[in-house]
Amino acid sequence: MEKLFLDSLYKLFERDLNKLEEEIKLYPGEELIWAVQGDIKNSAGNLCLHLCGNLQHYIGKNIGGAYYVRNRELEFSARNIPQIELLQLISTTREIVLATLLQTDSAILEKEYPEKVFSYSMSHAYFLIHLEGHLNYHLGQINYHRRLVQQ
């Protein structure tokens, strides 16, 4: 059952990271990736940086042991990073996340996640589900943002 769980997560992360790449490619101009309007304070570029930083830290580093130093503040303050660099970052993130999931021993799923992220303990399985939901949530925001700024 645990192998099925990891395989399912692999497919979901692959699908949604591919969709993130597709969304960033669909912006008709690089300046629109970084546009903010009205109450929308997070651009698609910042959400992309945030998702990649989040996944490389929580999955790549904490589960897979990959070297990564996260700068969460920069994820939301950086501006005007070229589209090609964002796409490379997504590609790197996808490679790290998927390789980690492929190499993960299903025995850790029930074990406590090593970093205290919330005010309560959680299993690896719980947190991986949370991370996929987080990716999907922000992916929806990026899709909405792209359609909004194209008007």
Q: Domain range spanning residue 130?
A: 2-149
Query: Long-range contacts made by residues 28-35, C-beta under 8 angstroms, separation at least 24?
Result: 28/150, 30/80, 30/82, 30/83, 31/80, 32/146, 32/149, 32/150, 33/83, 33/86, 34/79, 34/80, 35/145, 35/149
Residue-averaged pLDDT of the chain: 95
| Bridge partners of residue 112, in order along the sequence | 123
* 116 vs 38: which has the higher pLDDT: 116
pTM of the shown model:
0.96
The burial of 148, by beta-carbon neighbours within 10 Å (0-12 exposed, 13-18 middle, 19 or more buried), is given as: middle
**Above 90 in pLDDT, residue 2?**
no
CATH number at residue 60: 1.20.120.450
**Above 80 in pLDDT, residue 112?**
yes
**Structural domain count of the chain:** 1
Please, which residues have CB within 8 angstroms of residue 49's CB and are 6 or more apart in sequence? 74, 75, 76, 78, 81, 86, 89
pLDDT tens for 74-89 read 999 999 999 999 999 9
The token pair that represents 64 in the structure block? 């897979």
Phi/psi at 121 (nearest 5 deg)? -75, 155
Percent of the chain with pLDDT over 70: 99
Q: What confidence score (pLDDT) does residue 1 get?
A: 66
